[in-house]
Amino acid sequence: MREKTGAEFFAAKVMKQNAEKMRSLLLEKKLLEFDFGVMRSADFVIFPLKRKPSEEEIRELEKKIKSFAINKMFFTQAQRQPKSLKEALLGKLSEKEFSELVSGFDALGNIAIIEIPKALEKKEKLIAQALLQTNSSIKTVCKKLGAHKGKFRVEPVKIIAGEKNLLATYRESGCVFKIPLGKVFFSPRLATERMRIARQIKTGEVIGAFFAGVGPFPIVFAKNSEMEAAFAIELNPAAVKFMDENILLNKAEEKVFPVSGDVKKIVPKKFKNLFHRIVMPLPKGAESFLREAFLAAHPKGCIVHFYAFVPAENPFEETIALIEKTAQKMHKKVRVLHKQQVRSFSKQTIQIVIDFEIKD
Residues 26 and 136 reside in one and the same domain? no
From 101, 134, 165, the end of a domain falls on 165
Whichever domain contains 304, its CATH number is 3.40.50.150
Predicted pLDDT at 146: 72
Residues 157 and 19 reside in one and the same domain? no
Residues 72 and 94 reside in one and the same domain? no
From 45, 76, 107, the end of a domain falls on 76
Predicted pLDDT at 78: 58
What distance in Å separates the CA atoms of residue 31 and residue 37, rounded to the nearest whole number?
Answer: 14
What distance in Å separates the CA atoms of residue 239 and residue 151, rounded to the nearest whole number?
Answer: 13
Looking at the predicted structure, is the pLDDT value of residue 6 above 80?
A: no
Residue 109 lies in a domain: yes
If DSSP states are collapsed to H, E and C, what string results for the chain? Answer: CCCCCEEEEEEEEEEHHHHHHHHHHHHHCCCECCCECCEECCCEEEEEECCCCCHHHHHHHHHHCCCEEEEEEEEEECCCCCCCHHHHCCCCCCHHHHHHCCCCEEEECCEEEECCCHHHHHHHHHHHHHHHHHCCCCCEEEEECCCCECCCCECCEEEEEECCCCEEEEEECCEEEEEECCCCCCCHHHHHHHHHHHCCCCCCCEEEEECCCCCHHHHHHHHHCCCCEEEEEECCHHHHHHHHHHHHHCCCCCCEEEEECCHHHHHHHHCCCCECEEEECCCCCHHHHHHHHHHHECCCCEEEEEEEEEECCCCCHHHHHHHHHHHHHCCCEEEEEEEEEEEECCCCEEEEEEEEEEEC
Residues 314 and 217 reside in one and the same domain? yes
Residue 176 lies in a domain: no
CA atoms within 13 Å, Cβ hemisphere of 292: 23
Give buried/exposed letters for 45-56 (b at 16+ CB in 10 A, else e).
bbbbbbeebeee
- Give residue 129's pLDDT band: very low, low, confident or very high (50, 70, 90): very high
C-alpha dist (Å) from residue 73 to 4, 32, 76, 78: 16, 14, 10, 15
Predicted pLDDT at 218: 98
Predicted pLDDT at 5: 62
Residues 30 and 97 reside in one and the same domain? no
Work out the mean pLDDT of the chain and round it to a whole number: 91
Give the lowest-confidence range in 128-137, 192-201, 236-245, 269-278.
128-137
Looking at the predicted structure, is the pLDDT value of residue 210 above 80?
A: yes
Give the lowest-confidence range in 4-18, 139-153, 314-328.
139-153
Looking at the predicted structure, is the pLDDT value of residue 2 above 50?
A: no
CA atoms within 13 Å, Cβ hemisphere of 32: 21
Give the lowest-confidence range in 184-188, 232-236, 294-298.
184-188
Share of the chain above pLDDT 90, in %: 71
Residues 251 and 159 reside in one and the same domain? no
Predicted pLDDT at 188: 93
* Cβ neighbours of residue 4 closer than 8 Å, sequence gap 6 or more: 77
Please give the residue range of the domain that contains residue 135: 85-165
- Name the domain count of the chain: 3
Give the lowest-confidence range in 64-73, 74-83, 135-144, 213-222.
74-83
Residues 52 and 108 reside in one and the same domain? no
Give the lowest-confidence range in 61-65, 67-71, 88-92, 175-179.
88-92
Residue 72 lies in a domain: yes
Predicted pLDDT at 4: 45
Residues 140 and 58 reside in one and the same domain? no
Residue 344 lies in a domain: yes
From 165, 195, 214, the end of a domain falls on 165
Predicted pLDDT at 54: 93
- Taking only the tens place, the pLDDT of each residue in 292-330 is 999 999 999 999 999 999 999 999 999 999 999 999 999
Amino acid at 10: F
What distance in Å separates the CA atoms of residue 333 and residue 301, rounded to the nearest whole number?
Answer: 10
Looking at the predicted structure, is the pLDDT value of residue 275 above 90?
A: yes
Residue 179 lies in a domain: no
Residue 114 lies in a domain: yes
The number of beta carbons lying within 10 Å of the beta carbon of residue 264 is 13
Residue 127 lies in a domain: yes
The number of beta carbons lying within 10 Å of the beta carbon of residue 236 is 22
Residues 144 and 260 reside in one and the same domain? no
Give the lowest-confidence range in 118-132, 151-165, 192-206, 212-226.
151-165
The mean pLDDT of 168-197, rounded to a whole number, is 95
C-alpha dist (Å) from residue 250 to 82, 195, 196, 205, 225: 37, 16, 20, 20, 14
Residue 172 lies in a domain: no
Looking at the predicted structure, is the pLDDT value of residue 148 above 70?
A: no
Residues 116 and 239 reside in one and the same domain? no
Residues 225 and 355 reside in one and the same domain? yes
What distance in Å separates the CA atoms of residue 300 and residue 196, rounded to the nearest whole number?
Answer: 23
Whichever domain contains 143, its CATH number is 3.30.300.110
Whichever domain contains 49, its CATH number is 3.30.70.2580
The mean pLDDT of 50-59, rounded to a whole number, is 92
Give the lowest-confidence range in 62-71, 147-156, 229-238.
147-156
Residues 202 and 345 reside in one and the same domain? yes
